[in-house]
Structure 1
Amino acid sequence: MLRDSVANPCESMKNILGLSYEQIQARQNTTGILEALNLDEVTANGNVKYNLTPHRINRVVKGAETIVILIHGFLESSDGSMVSAVGPTLLKKPRYKILALDGSKVIGIEYLRSSTYARFSGEKLGSFLADMINDGQDPASIVLVGHSLGSHIAGVAGKQVKRLTGRQIGRITALDPAGPCFGGSVDGRIDRGDADYVEVIHTNGGALGFKEPIGDRDFYPNGGRGQPGCALATCDHSRAWLYYAEAIAEPHNFPGRRCDSWEKFKEGGCSRNAVAYMGMSFVSLTTTTNQTIIPGTYFFRTARDTPFGLGLQGIKP
Structure 2
Amino acid sequence: SKILCFFCFCFLVMEEKCPEFTDLNLGHAFSGTELHVQLLLYTRKNRDCAERLIENNVTASEYLNTTKKIVFVIHGYRPTGSPPAWLGDMQRLLLSSEDINLIIVDWNRGATTVIYTTAVENCRKVAEILKNYIDQMLVRQSIESVLNECEEHGLKGAQGLDPAGPSFTGEPPDHRLDPTDAQFVDVIHSDIDALGFRKPLGTIDFYPNGGMYQPGCPKTLFSGLSYFKCDHQRSVFLFLASLKNCCDMITYPCDSYLDYKRGKCMDCDAFQPMSCPVVGYHADRWKKLLIPYSSPTKAYFDTSGKDPFCMYNYVLEIITWNKSTRRGFIKVKIMDNAGNTVESQMSGEASTFQQYNSVKILTGFPRDIEKIVKMSLTFTTKALIGPRRKLKVLQMNWEASPDKNIFCVLLLVGEPVPCSGLLSCEASL
TM tier, shorter chain? Answer: 0.7 to 0.9
Give me the whole-angstrom Cα distance separating, in 2, the residues matched to 1:125 and 1:297: 29
Name which of 111, 114, 119 aligns with 1:114.
119
- Give the fraction of aligned pairs with identical amino acids, expressed as a percent: 25
Q: Which moved more, 1:41-50 or 1:82-91?
A: 41-50
Map residues 1-317 of structure 1 onto 2, 5 A cutoff.
33-34=34-35, 36-42=36-42, 43-56=46-59, 59-62=62-65, 65-75=68-78, 79-109=83-113, 110-136=115-141, 138-140=149-151, 169-183=155-169, 184-231=171-218, 232-250=227-245, 252-273=247-268, 275-279=276-280, 281=282, 292-293=289-290, 294=293, 295=295, 296-310=297-311, 316-317=362-363
Does the 8 A contact of 2:185 with 2:204 survive in 1?
yes
Contact 2:66 2:137 in 1 (8 A): no
Q: How far did 1:46 drift? A: 4.1
Call closer, same or farther: CA 1:115–1:88 in 2, change over 3 Å.
same
Q: Which has the larger radius of gyration?
A: 2
1:280–1:79 distance in 2 versus 1, CA, 3 Å: closer
Give me the TM-score of the superposition, normalised by structure 2.
0.54
Runs of 4+ in 1 over 3 A off after TM superposition: 56-59, 76-79, 139-143, 288-291, 311-317
State whether residues 254 and 310 of structure 1, in contact with CA within 8 Å, keep that contact through their aligned partners in structure 2: yes
SS at match of 1:255: coil
Amino acid at match of 2:72: I
2:58/2:137 contact within 8 Å kept: yes
| Unaligned residue ranges in structure 1 (runs of 5+) | 1-31, 144-168
Amino acid at match of 2:253: R
AA partner of residue 40 (structure 2):
D
2:252, 2:300 within 8 Å by CA — same for their partners in 1? yes
The offset of 1:38, in angstroms, is 1.0
Give the TM-score normalised by the residue count of structure 1. 0.72
User: Once the two structures are superposed, what CA deviation does each residue of 1:61-104 show, in whole Å capped at 9, x if it has no partner?
Assistant: 21652111100111187952232222210111342121100010
Deviation per residue, 1:218-276 (Å, 9 max, x gap): 00000011200112230111111100011122284211100011111111221225621
What is the distance in 1 between the residues matched to 2:194 and 2:75? Answer: 18
Q: Contact 2:241–2:308 (CA<8 Å) still a contact in 1?
A: yes
Cα distance between partner residues in 2 of 1:57 and 1:178: 35
RMSD between aligned residues: 2.8
Query: Does the C-alpha gap of structure 1 residues 131 and 225 become closer, same or farther in structure 2, counting only changes over 3 Å?
Result: same
Whole-Å separation in 1 of the counterparts to 2:151 and 2:133: 15
Matches of 1:55 and 1:255 in 2, distance apart? Answer: 39
Aligned residues: 256
Q: Deviations over 1:32-68 (max 9, x none)?
A: 955x111001353143333323524765321652111
State the alpha-carbon separation in 2 of the partners of residues 212 and 194 from structure 1: 16
Deviation of residue 198 (structure 1)?
Answer: 0.2
* Distance apart, 1:126 and its partner CA: 1.1
Shift of the 108–280 alpha-carbon distance from structure 1 to 2, 3 Å rule, reads closer
The one-letter code matched in structure 1 to 2:302 is R
Q: 1:6-54 CA deviation, whole Å, 9 max, x = no partner?
A: xxxxxxxxxxxxxxxxxxxxxxxxxx955x1110013531433333235
Shift of residue 178, structure 1, vs aligned partner:
0.6
**Aligned 8 A contact 1:90 1:248 in 2:** yes
| Higher RCO by CA contacts (8 Å cutoff, separation 6 or greater) | 1
Structure holding more strand per residue: 2
Paired with 2:84 and 2:67, the residues of 1 have a C-alpha distance of 24
Q: Distance in 1 between matches of 2:305 and 2:96?
A: 26
Instruction: Flag the 1:57–1:229 CA change in 2: closer, same or farther, 3 A.
Output: farther
Q: Which amino acid in 2 is paired with 1:135?
A: R
- 1: CA distance between counterparts of 2:78 and 2:229? 12
SS in 2 for 1:299: strand
Give, in whole Å, the separation in 1 of the partners of 2:150 and 2:200. 25
CA distance in 2, matches of 1:142, 1:128: 16
